[in-house]
Structure 1
Amino acid sequence: MRNAVITLILITIMVLNALDVVVDIGLGVPFWHIVQESMLVVLSAIGAALLIFHMHKKNKSLKYLALDLADANKQISLLNGKIQEERKRYSLVIKEQFEHWGLTTGEQQVAILLLKGLSFKEISTVRETKEMTVRQQASSIYSKSGLVGRHEFSAWFLEDFLS
């Protein structure tokens, strides 16, 4: 916007000085004065042309950036879709493992919340049960899985991603 305003000002200066040069020639003004005002017309024209060129180049660059951004957004969208698919597949793998261990529905719910990093108190609040019940279910999960504690339980599911 600023460049467009400056360009319009330069074009206005150029036009007004050009008209002044024409009038001065008709009035018989000294030659050095006509040359001086003609130089202002030429310099204003050069300045306006440079600004127009710069604005055109900048707009072209912005169009390319917009295309690149649109392409990046498409790629992100595609990756998000793939991540969602993989998340669903991984959830199924986790559920299959829970079933393999013979976890009850309640234990599976607690196990998922443990994997998400919730504390026993938070799990009891989410499930609307007593904290002691959550602790007992967690002990049962560890026993059925053959794992010792929350950290080993979580690590069992994350281990393959870290290798």
Structure 2
Amino acid sequence: MRDKFIAIVLLVIMILNFFDVFTDISLGVPSWHILSESLIVIVSGVGALFLIKDINARTSDISRLKQELLISDDKFRNISDEMITARHEYSAVIHNQFELWSLTSSEQEIAMLLLKGLSFKEISAVRNTKEKTVRQQASVIYSKANVDGRHEFAAWFLEDFM
């Protein structure tokens, strides 16, 4: 908006000085004065043209970027749908493995929270149990999964993706 205002001001200056130059010529004003005002006409006209050209270039860039953003949003929605589907499928694989390990429903819930990265304290708060109970259940989970701790437990599920 500011650039458009400046371009308009430059064009007004150019037009007013252009008519002033013609008036000065008819009045017989010294040529150095006519030359200086002609220079003002040329400089303000060139400045306005460059500014208008820049405004048009930026406007077309903005239009192009908006179009690219719409395309990108569509691709992101598709990727998000794919990610949601993949997450559900992966979640099913995880739960199947929990079943193979014979984890109880309580252990499965804790195992899933462990995979999501919650601490024992956070899990105990979510489940409204004591932290010691969560630690004991986590030990049982690790034992059934035949792993040494939470890092190896998480790595067991991520190993094939690396």
Provide TM-score, normalisation by structure 2: 0.84
Residue of structure 2 in register with 1:125 after alignment: 125
CA offset digits 1:124-153 (Å, max 9, x no partner): 221112233323322322232233332222
Alignment root-mean-square deviation, CA: 2.2
**CA 1:136–1:24 in structure 2 vs 1: closer, same or farther (change >3 Å)?**
closer
Residue of structure 2 in register with 1:40 after alignment: 40
Residue of structure 1 in register with 2:24 after alignment: 24
5+ residue gaps in structure 2?
Answer: none
Residue of structure 1 in register with 2:158 after alignment: 158
CA offset digits 1:15-64 (Å, max 9, x no partner): 21122123224434345544443343233222222221221122112222
Aligned residues: 162
Provide TM-score, normalisation by structure 1: 0.84
Letter in 2 for 1:145: A
**CA 1:104–1:12 in structure 2 vs 1: closer, same or farther (change >3 Å)?**
same
CA offset digits 1:85-106 (Å, max 9, x no partner): 1111111111111112211111
**CA 1:25–1:106 in structure 2 vs 1: closer, same or farther (change >3 Å)?**
same
SS of the equivalent of 2:129 reads coil
User: How far apart in 1 are the matches of 2:55 and 2:134?
Assistant: 66
Identity of aligned residues (%): 51
User: How far apart in 1 are the matches of 2:72 and 2:145?
Assistant: 43
Letter in 2 for 1:146: N
Residue of structure 2 in register with 1:94 after alignment: 94
